[in-house]
Each structure stands twice: as structure tokens, then as C-alpha cells.
Amino acid sequence: MALLDDIRKSEYLSLLGDKLQGLLDVPTTASRFLVNPTAFIDATTGKTAMPMQKGFAEGATGLPQRENLTVLDPNNRAYMEGYSQGEPFSYAAMALPFASAGANKLSDKLVQTITKNPSATAMNVIDYASMPFGNAIQSKYVPNVKAGEEMLVTHNLSQDKLYGVDRLGGLPVPSLAISKTGNPLEGFGDITLIGNKSLAQPSRNNPIFAADAYTVTKPNIYTKLDKAGEEYVFKKYLEPFGKFADEMTSEINQINKNFVKNMEFSTVSKARYLYEKGLLPDPNSFEKGSDFRRAVRQTYDDLSYNNPNFSKEYWDWDAMVADDVVNAGGNIDYKIFKGYTNTGRERYAPADIENIVKEMSGKTQGKEGNIPTAGALRGAITPRLKTEKDVLKARDKIVSKEEFENVKENLNNEYSAITDDLYDYLKKKNSGVDVQTFLQEIALGTANKYEYSANLYKEMPDSLKNRISSYAGDLKKMPTEYFEAKPQRALSLSEFEGALVPSDISQRALDILEKGGVKDILKYATPEEKIGLLGRFGKQMFGIAPVGLGYGLLGSDTEQ
């Protein structure tokens, strides 16, 4: 990095051109602009006459056309429509003149991008590096919006979750993210489904929240094996334990009470996986079963630590244990726990997609998980965006992950301090009221509605009341990485316009996406490449619309 910092900015841009020129098969005349940015700038400003280059330059930058336009198409129609070879250099063409005007900031960003991602493509590097400086770069998909600021609906999931979607036949009441293309939501899985922009329209059946609303997730599913399934599991999963097999009978019995869930990350499943991979320690070399089981766990942990893909491969394998049982002739009953009868008997319902939707729909926000956090409180009080206008008006609240983390840390610290003070107050009152429940009621303005908390709130010092009220206001105004859409129904895979998938995705996962009707499946190798591929879904982007021009949340009918 120190060496790169010593390179003069203009020289660095030339080096970048050398690096990028061979990465994509593009017209030779277009490539010259990256190799010789000075010539490009001269051509666009009219300083020199370069007939073979001007046409491309002018079409890319929107400058008036001149004579002798011989690059690509005379009117640049193919280019403007996303000509497969020229499109990546639209970003280069728009970024380089701007780089000349603000070379220090942009070239520093380019240095960071290319250093961290030496295998990135031309489009990825130029597009990604220039996004934060997008004043001169307008979106070619959404009118009057900067590149990287377009909004898009996505849903992230892992391969094992995709297998579950396939078994159920859809995604019941999924949480969808509405984020910006320059900072798409990461996490929750490396498969990104691209949603139709109609999913960003608020309605009674499609509530949109101004942040992660901590809405309910899929209920716990209990899986019970039939007799044939149990016999198969005992036979298969006792085998790796050799002379210690008898010691594992009770543990496998316990696993079979909720097979799929209990098998996850169990010593039993790890032993079987290591056994199949030829990596299992020899049980005959141990005197005690406890020592062998400890060695199994340690071997798995060591392999996971030294090879990040090892645990990912384990998860893919573990996600198929249920299919393995069924393929061997067993049966698995999937059920939702519904509580107890008046006589104390457990009640269950079939865990089909209809019943899961019933369990999840209509639930209030702030109900994800049982761990009290500032995020959960924010989820409970975050406002709903009730109209398209509300969504567009609030779009500036969406920021990058880095910006969000900076704000989040301060609010987490304040949350801890407030809960400590509130706990001390309740303790002085000899109250058994739960601190987090009481705090949420105060933040929501409902503390006076309940008899058990009305007096506690009335006698609370005004300083603490005001502090909580102010904190709740800060949470509501807090920026976010994304808005959350929560359609109150099941979505099929065919309702998604496409999917961005890791280059090492399993064939089974690809087959599920294709069979499910996902229209456009694109592979990526790096996060920057993933961002670049979002441009393939320009028709699903939306953003700010000027009054009177006929552009709503769903964009223009003349999108390119």
C-alpha cells in the first residue's frame, strides 16, 4: 500500500488501465481510454480530435455528438441499451473524467478497491470505487438518482435454508430488504434473491417498516421419525463410534425426538461427517468414550478454523440428513408445536406452508427472538411506511454498513445505561416488573394503559422519563441499512426476478432455483463483483421521482 501511495495519481490511473484492459473482451478502441486516460479526457473535452474514440466517449458521457463517430454504433444505441462488451466501460467512461476533477479522493478509493480485490473485473472496480463520489454519475436505470443510490428489493438466504424452501414449496411470510444498490444487504446467507419492485409497495398485506422491525421468524418445526427412520439412524450414526457405540444409544434417542434440529452440530453428526470424509480419529486408539468424543469435536473445530469452507460444506451436508432418511425408506413427520390441551397433552399441527403462514402473519413487530437488545426495542417502535411517498421520502435514512455501525454502537451503550438505571428504580420499588418489558411500554407510550405499570411510571423521576423518551426518539430517527418489507403470505421462488449466487454453489441449490422458476441466475466470486451484477436488474430498481413527470415508486415505463 505504501508503494501505491507514492505513485502519482495520473500514473496510477494508467496502471489501473493496464490491469483492467485484459480482464474483459471489449472493443480495442474503447480499451485505449483506460490505458490512456489523458487521451480520453482530451477527447471528451474536444482538446484533440480522435475520431476512433470520440463516439464511444461522447455516448458514454452524454456530451454532444460530433463528426466521425465510428466506434460501436454511430448513435451509440447498442451501447446505451447495455451492449454486452461496452457496458462495463460506461462506468469507466463516466468515472475517469470525474477522477480527473477529484483525483485524490477517487484514486485513493481505486487504490483501496484494486488492492483488496485484485481479481475484480473492470466494471466492479470502477463502479464500486466511484459510487461514494457519485455527484457526476447518474443512474442509467432510475431518473434523477445517483448510481449506487437506486433502491432494490432483495432476500438473502443460505443453501440449507433454500433446501427448506424447496421442501415447503415457498417462503412463508419472508422478511425482504429494501436497500441501495451501492450497499446491498449482506448477511443471512450468500444467496441473494432479487425481488420485483412491486414488493416495495406498502399495503395492509405488505407492511413496510423504516428499519429492521424484528418481525417474527418461522416457528420451530419439530421432526419425528417413524420406526424405519429410527432404525436407519441408529445403524448409520452408531457406526463411526466403533467400540463406543453402545454409549451413544441414549444420545441418538434424544436426537430422534426432534431429528433435524437436534442433529445440527451434534457430536453424532460431526462424527458421521468426519467418518465419511476419512478424517475421523480412530476410536480404537482411545480408552474412554469421553476422550474419543472430545477428539471428534476438537478435530472438527480445528478443520473449521483452518479451512473456512469446511464448516460451510458441513452445513450443506447436514441440510440433507432428512432427505437421506427418506431416501433410505424412512419417514419424517414435520409438526408445529401449538401448546397444551386442558389435560396437559401436547398439541401439534402439520408444518405445511399454509399453517406456517397462519403462525407468522399478523404478528406484531419487535417479536424476533427473546434476547432484549437496543435493536429489538428499535424494532418494536420503528414506524411503518404507509405509502409509496413515505418510502421515497425516507430513503436517505438508508446508509452503508460502516455508517450504521458507528451510530449503532453509541445507541447500544445508551441502551445499557438506561436499562441499568431503570433496573435500579424498579428494585427500589420492590417491583417484579421486567425491565425490558417496562422500557418498551414507556418507549411506545403505553405505560399508562396497564394497571401494573401505571403507578410505577407515574412515580418515576421526570429525568428518567425524559431520558427514555429522548432515547426512543433517537431510535426512530436512527439511520438503517435497509427497510423491511413483510408480505403476509407465502412467496414462490418464481416471484423473484433473479438470484446472485456464490461461484461455488452446490448443483442441488442451482437445480432448486431453476426448477422454482427464478429467471436470471448469476454467479459471483467477490462482494464487488456481486454489486456489479446488480446492474443486470435495472428494471427492478426505483428511487426519487420528480413531481409531474409520471415516475412513481415503480419507476418509468421507458427504463433502459
Top-confidence residue, 238 or 550 = 238
**CB 507: neighbour CB atoms within 10 A?**
7
End position of a domain, from candidates 290, 312, 334 = 334
Q: Are residues 73 and 109 in the same domain?
A: yes
Q: Which of 477, 497, 526 is the last residue of a domain?
A: 477
| Domain identity same for 469 and 488 | no
Same domain? For 407 and 393 the reply is no
Same domain, 394 and 543: yes
pLDDT band at 553 (very low <50, low <70, confident <90, very high): low
Per-residue model confidence (pLDDT) at position 227: 95
Model confidence pLDDT, tens digit, residues 280-315 = 999 999 999 999 999 999 999 999 998 878 988 898
pLDDT above 60 for 83: no
pLDDT value for 548 = 34
Predicted pLDDT of residue 540: 94
Which residue would you say has higher pLDDT here, 369 or 471?
Answer: 471
Q: What pLDDT is attached to residue 80?
A: 38
Q: Per DSSP, what are the bridge partners of residue 334?
A: 223
Task: Identify whether residues 377 and 509 lie together within a single domain.
Answer: yes
Residue 336: C-alpha distances to residues 167, 216, 252, 320, 348 (Å): 15, 15, 22, 20, 5
Query: Is the model's pLDDT at 67 over the cut of 60?
Result: no
Kindly report, residue by residue over 121-160, the tens digit of the pLDDT: 444 444 444 444 434 488 889 988 888 899 999 999 999 8
The residue from 448, 477, 506 where one domain ends is 477
What is the identity of the amino acid at 194? I
Residue 194 pLDDT > 90: yes
Same domain, yes or no: 127 and 7: yes
pLDDT at 398: 93
Pair (450, 464) in one structural domain:
yes
State which residues form the domain around 244: 221-334
Cβ atoms 252, 238 nearer than 8 A: yes
Question: What pLDDT sits at residue 330?
Answer: 95
Same domain, 43 and 126: yes
**For the chain, how many residues are written?**
560
Let me know if residue 257 belongs to a domain: yes
Residue of 258, 266, 257 whose CA lies nearest to 221: 258
Is 325 found in the same domain as 242? yes
Same structural domain, 176 and 318: no
pLDDT at position 545 over 50: no
Residue 206 has pLDDT above 60, yes or no: yes
CA distance 432 to 374: 21
203 and 86 belong to one structural domain: no
Contact 155, 175 (CB under 8 A): yes
- The reply to whether 158 and 110 lie within a common domain is no
| Per-residue pLDDT at 410 | 85
pLDDT for the residue 220: 86
* Whole-number percent of the chain with pLDDT over 90: 46
Q: How many domains does the chain have?
A: 4
Neighbour count for residue 141 (Cβ, 10 Å):
23
